[in-house]
């Protein structure tokens, strides 16, 4: 059944207002949208990061569902243990009914510090959904670069200047790494396309086994933009094909969105202060290198998915 915006607006908020996240935080939007896909009981595990410190400062919590804050590196292990305990208790008749399990982590706690924990949970086949809210740096601790940080982005540990032009490496393709685990379902999403994103979360929660969704989440402080642009800027990332929307279901790669006109990546970076040095005349070769990388990654994806666009159906 197609998602109905009016009906979604009537659902109770599982993340309450009044939290301490920044105004215009893209990660909050991504998490709220994900929780709109939940029907019935759910348990959340949350890696240390922006969304943890802004929603659970003791003695307060913004969560209206069972929530476990765990260390930076072990969201995958935590949700594995909870899901295993649930199955054991259900087998003994001590729990009746179905419970969904979702783990959240930022790119620092997913791409980097928590990768081993996530990989282990996926390999063991636990029944849970992992959502990475990817804001492309360690925003919570001072905007340090992560392996999700884009090429030439300026951060506090990869500052642009006379020595280096920002981060000198391209971002890790974590979604493809997860696909190599041969799990039943994984996807990339963006909160600007709420129908696609919520549909993917809803679909994932109905599939047995481990699932993964990588959602691009803007951070105006780290990206050096205006808070009001948080949705428009991730839309531009999709329109430039820097962040394509696709899913992999039982090994089949499906493209979910094809831009009518593929924009140059400069349209995405020109509104972000972390890339302002790339717009200088002397850095045109670096900008071209960035564009070439985006084009190559897009071509690789099209080879896997073909030119057919598959809308997410739930």
In the predicted structure, residue 101 carries a pLDDT above the cut 90: yes
Q: Could you read off the pLDDT of 261-277 as tens digits, one per residue?
A: 999 999 999 999 999 99
pLDDT tier for residue 248 given thresholds of 50, 70 and 90: very high
pLDDT at 37: 96
pLDDT at 147: 98
- Please report the domains of the chain, with CATH numbers, ordered by start residue: 18-305 (3.40.50.970)
Q: Calculate the alpha carbon distances from 292 to 29, 158, 205, 241, 288 in Å.
A: 31, 22, 36, 12, 6
pLDDT tier for residue 66 given thresholds of 50, 70 and 90: very high
Overall average pLDDT of the 158-185 stretch:
98
Overall average pLDDT of the 23-30 stretch:
96
pLDDT at 21: 95
Q: Could you read off the pLDDT of 73-100 as tens digits, one per residue?
A: 999 999 999 999 999 999 999 999 999 9
Mean pLDDT over the full length of the chain: 96
In the predicted structure, residue 223 carries a pLDDT above the cut 70: yes
In the predicted structure, residue 185 carries a pLDDT above the cut 90: yes
Q: Could you read off the pLDDT of 227-246 as tens digits, one per residue?
A: 999 999 999 999 999 999 99
DSSP letter (8 states) at residue 15: B
Q: How far apart are the C-alpha atoms of 109 and 79, rounded to whole Å?
A: 14
Q: Could you read off the pLDDT of 33-47 as tens digits, one per residue?
A: 999 999 999 999 999
Could you give the angle at the alpha carbon of 75 between the alpha carbons of 69 and 76, nearest 5°? 155
pLDDT tier for residue 2 given thresholds of 50, 70 and 90: low
The proportion of the chain whose per-residue pLDDT surpasses 90, expressed as a percent, equals: 93
Q: pTM here?
A: 0.97
pLDDT at 307: 81
In the predicted structure, residue 1 carries a pLDDT above the cut 70: no
DSSP letter (8 states) at residue 282: G
Q: How far apart are the C-alpha atoms of 26 and 163, rounded to whole Å?
A: 31
Overall average pLDDT of the 121-133 stretch:
98
pLDDT at 4: 85
pLDDT at 5: 85
Are the C-beta atoms of 246 and 254 separated by less than 8 Å? yes
Are the C-beta atoms of 89 and 95 separated by less than 8 Å? yes
Return the higher-pLDDT residue of 31 and 308.
Answer: 31
Q: Give the chain's end-to-end CA distance (angstroms, integer).
A: 6
Residue 145's contacts (CB-CB under 8 Å, 6 or more residues apart) are: 137, 138, 153, 155, 157, 158, 167
């Amino acid at each position: 059944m197609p998602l109905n915006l009016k009906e979604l607006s009537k659902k109770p908020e599982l993340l309450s207002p009044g939290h301490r996240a920044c105004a215009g935080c893209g990660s909050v939007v991504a998490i709220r949208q994900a929780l709109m896909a939940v029907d019935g009981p759910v348990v959340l595990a949350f890696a240390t990061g922006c969304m943890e410190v802004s929603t659970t400062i003791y003695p307060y919590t913004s969560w209206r569902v069972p929530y476990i804050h765990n260390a930076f590196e072990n969201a995958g292990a935590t949700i594995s243990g909870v899901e295993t305990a649930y199955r054991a208790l259900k087998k003994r008749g001590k729990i009746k009914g179905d419970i969904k399990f979702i783990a959240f982590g930022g790119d620092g706690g997913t791409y980097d510090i928590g990768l081993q924990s996530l990989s282990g949970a996926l390999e063991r086949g636990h029944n849970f959904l992992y959502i990475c809210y990817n804001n492309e740096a360690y925003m919570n601790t001072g905007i340090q670069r992560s392996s999700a940080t884009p090429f030439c982005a300026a951060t506090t540990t990869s500052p642009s200047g006379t020595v280096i032009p920002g981060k000198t490496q391209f971002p890790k393709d974590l979604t493809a790494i997860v696909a190599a685990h041969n799990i039943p379902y994984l996807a990339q999403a963006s909160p600007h396309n709420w129908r696609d994103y919520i549909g993917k979360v809803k679909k994932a929660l109905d599939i047995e086994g481990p699932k993964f969704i990588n959602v691009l989440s803007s951070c105006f402080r780290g990206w050096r933009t205006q808070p009001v642009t948080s949705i428009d800027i991730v839309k531009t990332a999709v329109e430039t094909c820097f962040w394509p929307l696709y899913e992999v279901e039982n090994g089949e790669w499906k493209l979910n969105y094809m831009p009518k006109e593929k924009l140059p990546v400069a349209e995405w970076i020109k509104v972000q202060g972390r890339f302002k040095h790339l717009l200088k005349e002397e850095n045109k070769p670096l900008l071209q290198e960035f564009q070439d990388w985006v084009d190559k990654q897009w071509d690789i994806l099209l080879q896997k998915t073909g030119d057919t666009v598959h809308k997410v159906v739930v």
